[in-house]
Amino acid sequence: MNTSLEELKKISKLIREDIIVTGRDCEVGVHLGGNLTLAEIMAVLFFSVANVDPENPDWEARDRIILSKGHGNLALSSAMARRGFFPLEELQHFDTFNSMLSMHIDKHRMPGVEISSGSLGHGLSIAVGAALGGKMDAAGWNVYCIISDGELNEGSTWEAILSAGHFKLDNLTVILDRNMFTIEGATEDNLSLEPLGDKFRAFKWHLIEVDGHDLEALLNAFEENTPDGKPKMIIANTIKGRGLPSVEGKASSHFYRISKEDAEEALAMLKSS
């Protein structure tokens, strides 16, 4: 899609608004912090970068979008609804009995998604398999995989990173949501990941690091050409709980039910920004 930067700003605000409203209304709470980090990433991916068709979600030539960080399903659901894969009203039933939209993705109920997600750390391995299959078939589509920094504690994630570089999967782009937190606290306190950039370069990836809330920077990162044979890793530096002042930048935002007062404050900030 040829979506202007100004329109992408509006879409990302709507996605963030959907997350806040659903987080307020969902009785059990939601994985709030890690969804609010994804608003700009989802807007750019679904409304500018990826070649998808909401009216034909199984289109063979579609780009494959794989959400490995399954906690981000609310942001994904909002983006897909606003892109037209299903009615926006479905968000009102998020994580309720028999809803198509659950806390983690269920591909058997949610149209237009590639994998079910819940056990974190497996999505990148699936994305590598899809990209390898695309290469073998000489297909024209690309694979986009969104992972969390917490998943870098998983051995299978590093096996996938090693494999993608070895098999020269330049049809694969990974977006790493680097919000610096897991449910257990700061990533660098629990199991230090830095220096991340050096690791990815050593594993034969083309690395780009951006502000994950900067739409223009994200667009440029997706559009940047990679050297032949190198998969692309976009480290998107984000703020956990972005847009909700009471929990912004805190591990406590991981799973949270927003109070009406906090939701009103956040929504008012969005409208005035």
Tokens of 212: 């994950």
**What pLDDT is attached to residue 8?**
98
pLDDT band with cut points at 50, 70 and 90 for residue 184: confident
Tokens of 164: 């993608």
Lowest mean pLDDT among 15-24, 110-119, 185-194: 110-119
**Domain residue ranges of the chain, discontinuous segments joined by +:** 5-272
In 53-153, the DSSP E strands lie at: 64-67, 143-148
**What pLDDT is attached to residue 191?**
93
**What confidence tens digit (pLDDT) does each residue in 200-221 have?**
999 999 999 999 999 999 999 9
In the chain, the DSSP E strands lie at: 64-67, 143-148, 172-178, 181-182, 185-186, 206-211, 232-237
**What pLDDT is attached to residue 259?**
87
**What confidence tens digit (pLDDT) does each residue in 126-146 have?**
999 999 999 999 999 999 999
Nearest partner of 12 among 49, 33, 37, 30, judged by Cα = 37
Instruction: Please say if the pLDDT value at position 225 is more than 80.
Output: yes
Question: What average pLDDT does the segment 107-130 reach?
Answer: 89
Which helix H or strand E contains 267, and what residues bound it?
helix 260-272
**What pLDDT is attached to residue 2?**
80
**What confidence tens digit (pLDDT) does each residue in 37-87 have?**
999 999 999 999 999 999 999 999 999 999 999 889 999 999 999 999 999
pTM: 0.96
What CATH superfamily is the domain 5-272? Thiamin diphosphate (ThDP)-binding fold, Pyr/PP domains (3.40.50.970)
**What pLDDT is attached to residue 33?**
86
Q: Are strands 181-182 and 172-178 parallel, antiparallel or unpaired?
A: unpaired
Tokens of 161: 């990173």
